[in-house]
Amino acid sequence: MPNISLVMIVKNEEVHLEDCLDSVKHYVNEIVIVDTGSTDNTIEIAKTYGAKVYGYTWTNDFADARNFALSKSTLDWNLILDADEQITSWDKDKVNSLLKDLNFIGKVDIKSNFLQNNEERFSQNFISRLLPKGASYFGRIHEQVVSDLPRIDLPIEVFHTGYFQTDKSERNLAILNEELTCFPNNSYILYQLARQYKTMNLYEDAFNFFRESFLIADRSEGYFTDLVVNYIYTLIELKQYYPGFEIIDQLNVPLGSSPDFQFVCGIFYMNFVLSDVAKNMDFLPLIERAYLTCLVLGEQKEREIVVGTGSYLAAYNLGVYYEMLNQKEKAKYYYNISSAQNYSPAEIRLKPLK
């Protein structure tokens, strides 16, 4: 079995820490916890799991704290988790086989829950979290791994609850703006600022930062699809349809296999048609095409950012589309697809159609 150290930075995490450590303790050989000033029982809980606990004076820099924690690890591999995360799946045989080679960065599937349209939804992203000795972090917030080693997806799943019905806006904005002062042309920082403002429903601010990030972003970066999707959502909120059409036309080919891109296109076309039905009725078929494409991509197992964009969410929106056109049998067909995947709004819409 490879030698893996769990490496964490924490502060006042007594509510989450035990669940986190219970989920991971059978997969690691060492636990290193760096505490940045807890006043609750965090340190005591960590010690009951045999953790090596170190104190650290917080400097408003997540990368510095993570690098300090990494310096305390004594093993070949370092697994990075936050206290509000739990391991939900780990294929030991495959992971152990892969970790015989130290020449890569391991990406794990981080799933998160969030609120959208008053519904709990789930996102998923493969993020670099299993690092060989020598890898380090850069960035005051939303820190990234600095390494030229290739990234490999690992059969490890983590569930993260840290942003569900919590507000970290004030902290995040302060650190992001500090980072932007040092790196004004960094597309990733601009993107994270835009996302933060969008979360706060400050769409004009979000638009400005999304636009700046989009203009200079490297399209090969892992966050590019999410940047584009959230940029289009922001344009919908601001009813800026013509810039939205320009972006969609420009990226329809390179991002055409993304369920999330196709899904937001469907929402964009719907809002555009409804903004002036008499004038924009010719665009109605684009709504149907976008969501049908989502379902095809879902069947092809194309990776989703928001779970359901290639399945039950797209099927539900098709049901709404057909119901709006009074095509009740088609509406029922797609509501049934969505309902079969336990999407409760589809079950509700089905009742009056039966």
Provide the Cα torsion 59, 63, 66, 70; round to 10°: -120
The 10 Å Cβ neighbour count of residue 216 is 10
Could you say which DSSP state residue 306 is in? B
Give the pTM.
Answer: 0.93
Mean pLDDT across 43-72 = 97
Q: How confident is the model at residue 211 (pLDDT cuts 50, 70, 90)?
A: very high
Secondary structure of residue 52 in the 3-state scheme: strand
CATH topology of domain 4-160: Spore Coat Polysaccharide Biosynthesis Protein SpsA; Chain A (3.90.550)
Portions of the chain given CATH number 3.90.550.10: 4-160
Residue 207, amino acid: F
Report long-range pairs for 41-49 (Cβ below 8 Å, ≥24 apart).
41/14, 42/10, 42/11, 42/12, 42/13, 42/14, 42/17, 42/83, 45/14, 45/17, 45/18, 45/21, 46/10, 46/17, 46/21, 49/21, 49/25
Under 8 Å CB-to-CB from 182, ≥6 apart: which residues?
none
What angle is formed at CA 231 by the lines to CA 85 and CA 262, rounded to 5 degrees?
Answer: 85
Is the torsion defined by CA of 317, 322, 323, 329 positive or negative? negative
Under 8 Å CB-to-CB from 221, ≥6 apart: which residues?
187, 188
Q: Rounded to an integer, what is the distance from CA 180 to the centroid of its chain?
A: 22
Q: Rounded to an integer, what is the distance from CA 117 to the centroid of its chain?
A: 17
Provide the Cα torsion 42, 44, 47, 48; round to 10°: -110
Could you say which DSSP state residue 12 is in? S
Is the pLDDT at 165 greater than 80, yes or no?
no
The fraction of the chain above a pLDDT of 70, given in percent, is 98
Q: How confident is the model at residue 164 (pLDDT cuts 50, 70, 90)?
A: low
Residue corresponding to tokens 């010719």: 282
Is the pLDDT at 236 greater than 90, yes or no?
yes
Mean pLDDT across 247-254 = 97
Question: Across the strands, what pairs with 298?
Answer: none
Portions of the chain given CATH number 1.25.40.10: 169-353
Q: How confident is the model at residue 162 (pLDDT cuts 50, 70, 90)?
A: low
* CATH number among 3.40.50.2300, 3.40.50.150, 1.25.40.10, 3.40.50.1000, domain 169-353: 1.25.40.10
Q: How confident is the model at residue 168 (pLDDT cuts 50, 70, 90)?
A: confident
What angle is formed at CA 179 by the lines to CA 166 and CA 224, rounded to 5 degrees?
Answer: 75
Q: How confident is the model at residue 156 (pLDDT cuts 50, 70, 90)?
A: very high
Q: Distance between CA 127 and CA 277 in Å, rounded?
A: 42
What is the pLDDT at residue 169? Answer: 84
Report strand pairing: 151-160 vs 105-116.
parallel
